[in-house]
Structure 1
Amino acid sequence: MEYKEHKKMYKVGKNWAVATLVSASILMGGVVTAHADQVESNNYNGVAEVNTERQANGQIGVDGKIISANSNTTSGSTNQESSATNNTENAVVNESKNTNNTENAVVNENKNTNNTENAVVNENKNTNNTENDNSQLKLTNNEQPSAATQANLKKLNPQAAKAVQNAKIDAGSLTDDQINELNKINFSKSAEKGAKLTFKDLEGIGNAIVKQDPQYAIPYFNAKEIKNMPATYTVDAQTGKMAHLDVWDSWPVQDPVTGYVSNYKGYQLVIAMMGIPNSPTGDNHIYLLYNKYGDNDFSHWRNAGSIFGTKETNVFQEWSGSAIVNDDGTIQLFFTSNDTSDYKLNDQRLATATLNLNVDDNGVSIKSVDNYQVLFEGDGFHYQTYEQFANGKDRENDDYCLRDPHVVQLENGDRYLVFEANTGTEDYQSDDQIYNWANYGGDDAFNIKSFFKLLNNKKDRELAGLANGALGILKLTNNQSKPKVEEVYSPLVSTLMASDEVERPNVVKLGDKYYLFSVTRVSRGSDRELTAKDNTIVGDNVAMIGYVSDSLMGKYKPLNNSGVVLTASVPANWRTATYSYYAVPVAGHPDQVLITSYMSNKDFASGEGNYATWAPSFLVQINPDDTTTVLARATNQGDWVWDDSSRNDNMLGFLKKVQLTVPPYQVNGVSQLTGV
């Protein structure tokens, strides 16, 4: 989550200065995305069916019965100006205010522009080169193959010819250029070292966002109930002065084996990234928060301060990670150390430190932080190094990731780190990945259509060649407070050609199975039309994905076929927009996880005074058939331990049915998002 000069998303440090910057434009006009260097229009001109009626997200109702998705969905084109409102925090809809600062605020102006270089368009219609245009392809019929068909089949190699026939494409409609490209495809079915998030999976995730399927859609929350977090008013790590801070990526100190939130001498401990909003140079550091164990009153959380003191700088930052309790009672923290010195674009490293805490009648305080060390900087083979990235051909559009270490301890005491990364030379980013049939993931008809779509779209092809996201794993030595890397393994999941970023991996063991979760944005993928579709129909493109395996080392299988577990429900500039989902197991419920996240994108994206804060948590059911279901059972903000006192349905909202022929989520100018 770093500042990049690419045009996917604008970030400063790990801060989302602009998070998919959209309003819920549904019908006229495209979604405008603001970047540090430009504002670009991403227009989706298609037709989509959207489930627009979900009670408390329509998943599992208060009576415990499954509420089915509304079948009366509405189809409509997506070409409408988005509107911005100046609602207060107590209004249910808190869309961001218009501002002249397009760099750090949500931009809700859909201005027409002649610059369509980066717009999502069907580029082959604006060029004389139609050699690879999908529209040229014709389906076969039951007639005798023509001479042209037979001639072209002979030009194709056997595997390409078989794929064309399986796709029921008339080979006679293929151009010589298309035949040449098809003959370059690698159809090898050699055993993959890990699971893949494929181009088909990316499509499934993006389409699930549009459909608002209640099985995956994040519950609607009641914005009237959402508060800024009192504990975020604290001494800032960089300025050394009291300030109101945003809070975003957060994780609990967990029991090393069960994964439950640790009851640490009567307290629950959470470590969180925090910083002053709209800091011009970036303010990204980690703090220790605490509350009495089992206390779900949001106002009772306290701040023990910046973990690394109050003389921090923006040059060296700390990003997200994980933490568990050592055998001697100390806390072993794993985190991302980010170096921006010498004009680096976020040289990320996996790091660790040991926290010694004081616990007394006054609460929890940090006694000392010891054993700080960088553990891993990439090995170049399994995982890309910063040097490899820096020497790459297209840093502007590439996304370097080596962060978010999540510690897993097995019953025998062995510790592993699962982390976000990019693949190394073992299976590296390149244009060749577009010719790897295994990266597509569909049947031959889908694969050929997608193949020519990428070849025919210069920008998407470029992104596909750069996409090499990975969920990696390494083993640590048995010295808990001073670990070293013992062994590095191939990725558990790779996203070659499909996506360049899968964040915050999190492993939860339920019964005898291991569940691997991660968060992502469709906008980090190589299908810009799909991103525009999500942004236009829903207003955001965030998701949580998940995989399941019988062992920590895999092989992992995607949940719900595509891996989708959670999908965005509201625009990114609403008060109730969420991200950075982190699943924790629920004691006594081995088939459920509690989903925690932050709410309101950073830097007042949902309006002045609306700081990024902890969201209400909610439950997800893990089903025996490797599917999942979102449960409409919410908690207070910042509840990390589900128990009998956790449920608070007042935090849920209701989006009434609305035809998509009026301004987004409005009838006669009145917002339809109301509290239950």
Structure 2
Amino acid sequence: MAEYGPESNVVERTPRWTRAQASEIERGPDDVAPVVYPPAEQDAPEIHVWDTWFLRNRDGSIAEIDGHRVIFSLTAPAELLPGKRHDVATVRYFYSADGETWHCGGPVFEDGTAFGSRQWAGSALYDRDGTVYVYYTAAGERGEDELSYAQRIAVGAGGRVETTADGIAIEGSFDHEVLLEPDGTRYEREAQSSGMIYTFRDPWFFEDPETGETCLLFEANTPVPEGSDAGDGDAHHQEFNGSVGVAVSENGDPTEWALDDPLLDGVCTNQELERPHVVVRDGRYYLFVSSHEHTFAPGIEGYDALYGFVADSLRGSYEPLNGSGLVVTNPAGAPFQTYSWVAYPHREELLVSSFFNYYDLRGLSLDDVAALPPAEQQRRFGGTLAPTLRLALEGTETRVLGALEHGHLPLPDEELPPLLSEYRSDEAGRGEYRAPEE
């Protein structure tokens, strides 16, 4: 672990996504996803579904229990206005035997047992002894009358996955524990924040296949000392200080963690590097984050998109994929159609899941949507799993190959439908599938 004391300056030694790199962001035929349309049917129409993650083994592989795979999602009642869903977010689990049809198993935690007034995104570990650890963001304070936005990284530990006559159930009681809070030096506390949005959330379990080190990645903000010349030295730009944090478990215990230096920061570039996760391929470490167009610092035009970086080790010197970091974005004509992307390996490709967000906006901003009549807000929100994207990855370059159906999440060794045509798009998302050249 890096030495850290009160005189050290973490912002000066953290690999950075720079303004110059992010200024190269531009939609192109390799990174624009196909336009998404509503599915014919939803697996759980009674609830909104958004941020989603797999139940995984320690080595990062997707857990299979008696022929089933399990996902977790943030959920809220479908009758709630979409913009209010984060205020009541509940983690539910879903299971599937084929990766296409998902059955809702219900809330993971009993009412009132988890930390926070609501729970935001995380990850889930299926450990060697069959114990389930669900890492989550504890947002607000349990029992509060007025919503607050304090964020801590917590875990519910002790559940078990049981096979039932109908499929899969997560049973048993979870012991909840707050694992990590910001230290004010490596990671900004809420009281220190002067930025547009404060973050300390999105824990993601990762065991390094090269070193065996057990880590927990998360989204945070990096404190920038007053008068620092970090980034471009502009104090207003420095308020945009998103980072990818990491904590380490020295003995591999899934509940014992110590903060370490950030892996990457976006000081002067971006405020939110959401849902960080890593794919290791050919000895290289691919770090992915999601971010919004409105969280880029002034002077940078970015998109709601999946961004990626590559290094030769987990703590290496990351360089942005495709030069700018842009990996997958929405078409210009549907800029908010999907969000919260998660990439995972599939044979020679990557698959990228997300959720179906706002569509049919016809030029409306998200602020405009919030002013619409409730029925119109509901109509324009997808609230379900989006089509899974197929992505080519070659060194430092990526390319969108096409899409599967809504919520189709194959295991890494499962065959995919033949890619009989190639998806290509212009920057506006006016794409087409063309037969490959013979």
Could you tell me which runs of 5 or more consecutive residues in structure 2 were left unpaired when the two chains were aligned: 1-9, 360-373
Distance of aligned partners of 1:344 and 1:383 in 2 relative to their CA distance in 1, 3 Å threshold? farther
Judging by fraction of residues, say which structure has more strand: 2
Residue in 2 aligned with 1:409?
Answer: 207
- 1:226 matched to 2:58? The reply is no
When normalised by structure 1's length, the TM-score is 0.54
Deviation, 1:308, is 1.5
Residue in 1 aligned with 2:410?
Answer: 641
Q: Distance in 2 between matches of 1:492 and 1:557?
A: 12
Distance of aligned partners of 1:598 and 1:366 in 2 relative to their CA distance in 1, 3 Å threshold? same
Of residues 19, 24, 28, the one that matches 1:213 is: 28
Q: Distance in 1 between matches of 2:375 and 2:271?
A: 27
8 Å contact from structure 1 (residues 409, 415) kept in 2: yes
Residue in 1 aligned with 2:259?
Answer: 488
Deviation, 1:228, is 5.0
DSSP 3-state at the match of 2:358: coil
Of residues 380, 387, 401, the one that matches 1:616 is: 387
Of residues 275, 290, 307, the one that matches 2:108 is: 307
Residue in 1 aligned with 2:7?
Answer: none
Deviation, 1:511, is 2.6
8 Å contact from structure 1 (residues 326, 480) kept in 2: no
> What are the Cα deviations for residues 235-287 of structure 1, in whole angstroms up to 9, with x where unaligned?
xxxxxxxxx11111000112321x23221221110000011231758221110
Q: Distance in 2 between matches of 1:522 and 1:336?
A: 23
- 1:347 matched to 2:150? The reply is yes
Deviation, 1:469, is 0.7
**Identical aligned pairs, as a percentage?**
24
DSSP 3-state at the match of 1:585: strand
Residues paired across the two proteins, number = 402
Deviation, 1:649, is 7.1
Q: Distance in 2 between matches of 1:312 and 1:569?
A: 41
8 Å contact from structure 2 (residues 354, 386) kept in 1: yes
DSSP 3-state at the match of 1:612: strand
Of residues 72, 88, 93, the one that matches 1:283 is: 88
8 Å contact from structure 2 (residues 56, 63) kept in 1: yes
Deviation, 1:343, is 4.7
Residue in 1 aligned with 2:365?
Answer: none
Deviation, 1:568, is 2.2
Of residues 537, 556, 565, the one that matches 2:327 is: 565
Q: Distance in 2 between matches of 1:323 and 1:313?
A: 15
Distance of aligned partners of 1:369 and 1:556 in 2 relative to their CA distance in 1, 3 Å threshold? farther
Deviation, 1:322, is 1.0
Deviation, 1:339, is 1.1
Deviation, 1:606, is 7.0
Q: Distance in 1 between matches of 2:48 and 2:375?
A: 9
Residue in 1 aligned with 2:354?
Answer: 597
Residue in 1 aligned with 2:240?
Answer: 467
DSSP 3-state at the match of 2:262: coil
- 1:200 matched to 2:20? The reply is yes
- 1:248 matched to 2:50? The reply is yes
Could you tell me which runs of 5 or more consecutive residues in structure 1 were left unpaired when the two chains were aligned: 1-189, 234-243, 441-450, 455-460, 535-540, 659-664, 666-671
DSSP 3-state at the match of 1:491: strand
Instruction: Give me the CA root mean square deviation.
Output: 3.4
DSSP 3-state at the match of 1:218: coil
When normalised by structure 2's length, the TM-score is 0.81
Distance of aligned partners of 1:203 and 1:657 in 2 relative to their CA distance in 1, 3 Å threshold? closer
- 1:519 matched to 2:290? The reply is yes
Letter in 2 for 1:422: N
Residue in 1 aligned with 2:306?
Answer: 544
Distance of aligned partners of 1:573 and 1:627 in 2 relative to their CA distance in 1, 3 Å threshold? closer
The higher radius of gyration belongs to 1
Q: Distance in 2 between matches of 1:245 and 1:335?
A: 20
> What are the Cα deviations for residues 119-175 of structure 1, in whole angstroms up to 9, with x where unaligned?
xxxxxxxxxxxxxxxxxxxxxxxxxxxxxxxxxxxxxxxxxxxxxxxxxxxxxxxxx
Residue in 2 aligned with 1:75?
Answer: none
Of residues 198, 212, 221, the one that matches 1:422 is: 221
Q: Distance in 2 between matches of 1:266 and 1:561?
A: 40
